[in-house]
Chain A
Amino acid sequence: MPHNAPAPGRRNVLKSGALLIACVVAGEAARLTPAAAHAAAATPRVLTAAEAVTLGHFAETLVPGACAAGVVEFVDSQLAADATESLLIARYFGVVPPFHDFYRGALAALDAAARAAHGQLFAALAPEPALALAGSLLAGPPPGWSGPPAPLFYLAARGDAVDVVYGTAAGFEALGIPYMEHILPPRRW
């Protein structure tokens, strides 16, 4: 069995009854899967373009395949939702709503830490230093970090990425395990 992250093909998405998120594509409101929103270069609704880029690089560094699976679009759509209906794993970590404050603060801190260590934004780092910096957050804040607790952000963003890569029916199928659903998530987000 190949040890690659699952590719979110259309067939798998339809088979999974996958999540559809509200997003904006070319100025028009749309409902797409996170992966399709990513492919269509959807405009984030809550995150800034720069924040979206940083989040995408961070999530992809931690969990390869996360960007293609739509992690940025998934997080952005959830930040636009009411906190009590949010599907973000951050709610388990004691993060106090609104959750976008947590993401914004952490993404800014991540860029500040990347500058402190390498003189560049996180998204500009080569894969090896990016992985080293990203992985270090679990142990505590790196030099230059000023924001929400670094380990919490690491766990939340890694969890978001794992959700979209491995937590869907397509992700189960790629891992070779049965989904065995009672009720698939609705097609409308």
Chain B
Amino acid sequence: MSTRAPEEVDVVIVGAGAAGSVHAAVLAAAGRSVVVLEGGPPRKPGDLYSSQMWARRLKWTSPAAVNGGADPAGIAFNGGHGYGGAALHHYAVWPRFHAPDFGMASDHGRGLDWPLDYETLRPFYDRIQADVGVSGDAARETWRPPGAPYPLPPLPTFAQGETIARGFAARGLHTAPLPSAILTQEYKGRPPCIMDGWCDAGCPIGALANPLVTYIPRAVKAGAVFRSGAHVTRVVMDAAGGRAIGVEYADAGGALHVQRARAVIVAAFAIETPRILLNSVVDKHPCGLGNASGLLGAYLMSHPSIIVFGMFDADMQNYMGPTGGQLLNQDHFGKSATPGALGSRQWMIAQALKPNDLLGISMSRPDIVGPALAPFMHKAARGLGNMVALCEPLPDTANRVTLSAARDAHGMPLAEVTHRYGADGKTLIAAAAIEGAAIMTAAGAAETWRSPIGGQHLMGGCVMGSDAARSVTDAFGRVHGVPNLIVAGPSLFPTASAVNPTFTVHALALRSAELLARNWAQFA
């Protein structure tokens, strides 16, 4: 049985990650009373130990999901747990979506259209990058859509980046500094990066724009209240089922509470957000909130990705630089640029390497064991080069989040996650693998190989759209049929492009939060 918390607030936000913290900062600054409920612990910069082992605490664990399908999604590695969410351990690779990303269905008859275009989102990209500090070289990004130049000079390149860039040049391909939400100079009181490659473990100095140093402090300063260990189970609706009146959550001891609010924002990432909405069943919404279309939970997407490796005789300084890489290539970003496939792809080049962990040196050759391992590790510790191909997944209704018959400790159904890579994504990967090997060879690698396909990022599940019959929310994340319920975060993406999502998550959240603040009376 739920106990009712006495206070009603203007806004309750579910999730203290990138999207939730932007909403909290904007709405609290606009004078709204805001409570943020986060299921994980209250992280602080001092918790972010430089260790790939300790970094695993920041990731989601999956007791709340049953993960299946032909190609199970990487829900643990890509998710977050605690203040900052997935953005606390993200690599801060911040390219923009391109204009054609917003009109796949109209232009190609496949995929989905966004209910907004690039020009609508462009000013929010510009404002976010000025706000948190993004480094890059707009002129050298010949593929970049129009927008304000970066406020900070680009990331430096080290031997690994310079060497692989020569391979691109030899193949007639272009490279540019990776656009990155990592400071290259002091910016608004935050120090520059020292290029130590610990991004995955979280950046305790705040050079990388994670929510602990960007929007959470602003939200708190403006009066927002953050509660950790608050596991939200459902959105609570009024008797008529027309409006949200709060959320139910279990505290760390398992006791259930209701946080009443005039508006509810669910920003709990791509698995938990549809799970919560699916579990919010009332008479008027028998299949969950925003599910009149039957598409709540559908179109879950993860970028099919491979790492291409090259072994060099020279010292590649591969322990230096950001984890996300030093350089970018988008020469094959056009939707039809890869024969036999629809979709974009990009290269992120020269990731900093550590010896251990999922993306570390040892896992580049998981087949090497026994006496052969130490010689390999010693050679690769300085000689291994790598780059990541990120490819576009087309939205697929078979890829989705549903509710399992199994339940968690709070009695909430687990999320059942089904995922597979589509034929187009596999074709893009195959093309990237051939191209990547040629680039590494041209760069001077004595040996080159690639990883299996892995999934990067999680998007979709509560897609936005112009037509309520074919989407879950409108262009601002307002759930169809529940006007004071808003979804925020990558769940909203109708298509995924072939770029990292966090910059776009911020831009969408800023746009939505400002609409809510501006038109508060309409929502409340």
Contact = CB atoms under 8 A, between A and B. Distances in A.
Partners in one complex: yes
Contacts of A178: 319
Interface string B185-220: 000000000101110000111000000000000000
A1 B74 CA distance: 37
A32 interface: no
B369 A135 contact: yes
A155 interface: yes
Interface string A165-186: 0111001100111111111111
Contact of A91 (B76, B360, B369, B374): B76
B40 interface: yes
A178 B75 CA distance: 31
B372 to A, nearest CB: 10
Given A135-B370, A183-B204, A85 B57 contact: yes
A88 B57 CA distance: 9
Interface string A89-115: 101101011000000000000000000
A158 B366 contact: yes
Contact of A94 (B72, B361, B366): B72
Main secondary structure of the interface of B (DSSP, over half): loop
B369 A158 contact: yes
A44 B54 CA distance: 21
A180 B205 CA distance: 13
Interface in A132-189: 134-135, 138, 154-155, 158-159, 162-163, 166-168, 171-172, 175-186
A166 B377 contact: yes
A163 B50 contact: no
Interface in B329-375: 354-358, 360-363, 366-367, 369-371, 373-375
- Which of B52, B75, B377 gathers most chain A CB within 10 Å? B377
Nearest to B82: A84
Given A63-B369, A159-B363, A180-B197, A89 B56 contact: yes
A167 B61 contact: no
Nearest to B319: A177
B305 to A, nearest CB: 15
Contacts, number: 148
A84 B57 contact: yes
B370 A131 contact: yes
B48 interface: yes
Contact of A181 (B198, B358, B371, B382): B198
A40 interface: no
B63 interface: yes
Given A84-B40, A131-B369, A167-B53, A92 B74 contact: yes
Given A167-B354, A167-B356, A183 B378 contact: no
Contact of B56 (A88, A158, A168, A180): A88
Contacts of B72: 94
Interface in B429-478: none
B366 A182 contact: no
Contacts of B378: 1, 3, 175-176
B381 interface: yes
Nearest to A88: B56
B53 A163 contact: yes
Interface string B69-82: 00010111100010
B198 A91 contact: no
Contacts of A97: 61-63
Given A64-B371, A159-B356, A166-B356, A183 B46 contact: yes
Contacts of B355: 162, 166-167, 171-172, 175, 177
A83 interface: yes
16 contacts: A64-B373, A64-B374, A92-B56, A94-B67, A96-B62, A96-B66, A135-B367, A159-B358, A166-B362, A166-B377, A167-B356, A180-B319, A181-B50, A182-B205, A183-B204, A184-B50
Closest 9 CB pairs of A and B: A167-B356, A181-B50, A180-B196, A166-B355, A175-B381, A3-B375, A62-B369, A162-B362, A87-B53
Given A91-B62, A167-B53, 4 more contacts: A162-B355, A182-B196, A184-B51, A185-B50
